[in-house]
Amino acid sequence: MLIIPAIDLRQGKVVNLRQGKVNEETAYSDNPIEIADQWIEEGATRLHIVDLDGAFKGSPFNGQIVKRIKNKYPDIEIQLGGGVRTKDDILNYLQVGVDFLILGTKAVTALDFLDEICRQFPGKIMLGLDALGGKVATHGWEEITKIDAHVLASKAAKLGVVAIIFTDIASDGMMQGLNLQATRDLAEKVSVPIIASGGVRDLSDIEALGMINQNLDSALGGVILGRSLYEKTLTVSEAIKKSTKMVSKNGMLILALYKKTKLCNLWKIEKYIYKSSPKVIQNFIKNLFIFLFKLAMILKRKNFSNYINDYKTKRGMDFYHDVHDWLGGYPYESISIEEISKIMDKFGYKMIRSFQVKKQIGFFGTGCDEYVFKLKK
C-alpha cells in the first residue's frame, strides 16, 4: 500500500482546505518545490498533486509548478487532478511526465469521455471520486449530485480506470480519522484498487487501513496524506515504515516490471511519438511493426498464423490490440534487477525469487521480469 503525500496548489502556494471550503484555507508554504523536496527526502515515491485553481476554474492553472517538480524528480511518480477536463489537458500533462491523470467532474458529467480516454491512455487514468453522504460531488466539491458513489465507481472500473481515489468530503482536512467503513464498502464493490483520502490523523489510521487491506480480495492501492503531514502529527517516513509492516509475517510482495534493455530509451522515444501522432501515423507505425515482426518469424521458420490464433488464449487479449497498447504505452519505464533490489531494500524487503525473461536486445519490445519479495526479519 503506497503512502502518497498530497500537495494542494492554489495561487502558487501549498494549501489545505477543510472539507474543500475556500474560506477555510490554511496556507503552508509559498514554495511547492521545497515541499516536494521534503516528502521525497522522507521516502515518498509518489506525489498526489491537486490543482485547486484548476478545479474551480475548470482548466489547468498550476501546470508550470507540476512541470518543475517532475523535471527535478523524473523518477518520482505524480498523480494529478484538478481542472483536467479535455483530451488536450491530458496530453499536455503526459508530455511533461505526469504518470497518472485524475478525472473527477468530467468523468461524472461525461462517462463516454471517460471511456474514450481510458481506451486511448490505458493505465494512465484514475477516477477522483469525491463523496458527501454517499453522493458524488463535482466542480471542486461545490455541487453535490444525486449519483451514488459506488454506482459511479463500478461504471468507471468497467471502463478501465487504473485506480479510484476516494475522498470522503466530511472527513477531508478535519484530522478526525478516515471514513474506514465507506472505504471498505467501496473496495468490496469494485475490482480496481482504491486509494483512500480524507481525514488521516496519525499512524492509527494507517494501521486500520492495513487491517482492512489484509481482509480484502482486492487490495487498497494506497493512502493520501495531507494535513496530518503539514501539522506534523504524522511523517512520511513513519507512514512508510508502518505500511511495510502490513505484509503478514509469512506474506510476500510480488512485482512485475519491464526488463531494462539496450533499446529501452529508443522505445521511450517511439512511444512518445506514437501517442502524440494522429491516427494515420499510428497506423503506419503499427503496420510497420507487424510487418517486421512477421518477417522475423519467417526467418525463424515460425508460423505467424498459428501464433496469432494461440495469442489470445495465452495472453488474454487480441494480438493487434496488444501491439497498439505496446507502441503507445507512454510514459514508459524499465528497471534492472539490481535497481529494484536496491529500492526494495530501502523499504525493508529482500528478494527471495525472480522470474526473468530471456536476455534480449529488445528489438520487438521488452517483457516483464517478475520479482518476489519478503519482509526482512
Residue spans of the domains in the chain: they are 2-245, 247-377
Q: Cell numbers 524528480 label which residue? A: 73
130 is catalytic: yes
From 45, 47, 53, 40, select the one nearest 12 (Cα to Cα): 53
What residues are paired with 127 via a beta bridge? Answer: 103, 164
Selecting among 8, 89, 168, 205, the annotated active-site residue is 8
| pTM exceeds 0.75, yes or no | no
53, 89, 130, 205: which is the annotated catalytic residue? 130
Please give the radius of gyration of the chain, using alpha carbons only, rounded to the nearest integer. Answer: 21
Label residue 272 exposed, middle or buried (CB < 10 Å: 0-12, 13-18, 19+): middle
- Statement: residue 32 has pLDDT above 60: yes
pLDDT > 50? residue 174? no
Q: 105-149: per-residue pLDDT in tens?
A: 888 889 999 999 999 999 999 999 988 888 888 865 667 888 999
Q: Which three cell numbers stand for residue 21?
A: 471550503
Listed residue (222, 240, 237) closest to 178, CA to CA = 222
Q: Higher confidence at residue 16 or residue 291?
A: 291
pLDDT at position 173 is 45
Higher pLDDT residue, 113 or 200? Answer: 113
| Catalytic residue check, 318 | no
Torsion of CA 147, 151, 154, 159, to 10 degrees: -40
Architecture of domain 2-245: Alpha-Beta Barrel (3.20)
Q: Tens digits of per-residue pLDDT, 47-101?
A: 999 999 998 888 888 999 999 999 999 889 999 999 898 999 999 999 999 999 9
Helix (H/G/I), strand (E/B), else coil: 270: helix
Question: Each residue of 248-295: pLDDT tens digit?
Answer: 667 777 777 888 888 888 888 888 888 788 889 989 999 999 999 999
